[in-house]
Copies of this chain bind each other. A is one copy, B any other.
Amino acid sequence: METAAALNIYRNFLAQFVVFNEAEWIVFTQHLTFSTLKKKQFFAVPDKVCDQVGFIVTGSMRYFHIKDGQDITGYFSFENELVSSYKSYLTGNLGITYIQALEDTKLINISRKAMEQMLANPMLAYKMERFGRLVAEHYLCCYEDRVASFITQTPEERYLLLLNTGREILQRMPQHYIANFLGITPVSLSRIRRRILTVAS
């Protein structure tokens, strides 16, 4: 896919938050960088600052932690979504999570520096503040739901909810990643699936 097409996809995505006119768009795009990650390459690693917010043109990414030598999946991002270790990106603190390409992935990136420049540029400042606000609010809402599900639901209930709402994750991710995402072990998820099947039949 050529750059122009990718940029167009990004522009459509951005339109749900903020609409740029032609002059603004030209300046905005000058602050972007393009990158490709081969499968298994890392977008972010612990103990380094994550200095990019990526937009996934094609591909997918997995967020995970390593604890006691074990790999624990926390989240996924797919085409037409943003990806970042947000806290690290926003605060400049060292990140705590790995973000890895699950397949060859094309990204359009905004670096921290570019973001700061645009926020300081009178031509773009207002729209970038608004863009930042709406994106942060969007993810805040996602997290609010996710925390609520950990507090009020059992793992089995969380899995049943995912069956109804998480088509893409279920179809594209191996089950042991999904298990971690639900806060349980792969073995436990396998048992839950068995329970559900047994009850259903």
Residue numbers of A with Cβ under 8 A of B are 65, 67, 72, 74, 86-87, 90-91, 96-97, 125-126, 129-130, 132-133, 136-137, 139-141, 143-148, 150-152, 180-181, 183
Are B129 and A74 in touch, CB under 8 angstroms?
no
Q: Which of A67, A125, A126, A144 has the most CB of B within 10 A?
A: A144
- Nearest-Cβ distance from residue A65 to partner chain B, whole angstroms: 5
With A74-B148, A151-B183, A183-B151 already in contact, the answer to whether A140 and B86 are too (CB < 8 A) is yes
In the complex, chain B residues whose CB is within 8 Å of the CB of A141: 86-87, 90-91
Specify the main secondary structure of chain A where it touches its partner: helix
Q: Contact check: which of B97, B125, B133, B150 meets A136 at CB < 8 Å?
A: B133
Copies of this chain present: 2
With A65-B152, A125-B126, A126-B126 already in contact, the answer to whether A137 and B147 are too (CB < 8 A) is no
Are A183 and B144 in touch, CB under 8 angstroms?
no
Alpha-carbon separation in the docked complex, A83 to B87 (Å): 21
With A126-B126, A133-B133 already in contact, the answer to whether A65 and B151 are too (CB < 8 A) is yes
Alpha-carbon separation in the docked complex, A130 to B140 (Å): 16
- Nearest-Cβ distance from residue A177 to partner chain B, whole angstroms: 12
Alpha-carbon separation in the docked complex, A100 to B21 (Å): 45
With A86-B141, A126-B126 already in contact, the answer to whether A65 and B133 are too (CB < 8 A) is no
Q: Which residue of chain B has the shortest Cβ distance to A75 in the bound complex?
A: B147
- Nearest-Cβ distance from residue A49 to partner chain B, whole angstroms: 14
Q: Which residue of chain B has the shortest Cβ distance to A151 in the bound complex?
A: B74
Q: Contact check: which of B67, B90, B125, B133 meets A132 at CB < 8 Å?
A: B133
In the complex, chain B residues whose CB is within 8 Å of the CB of A152: 65, 67, 72, 74
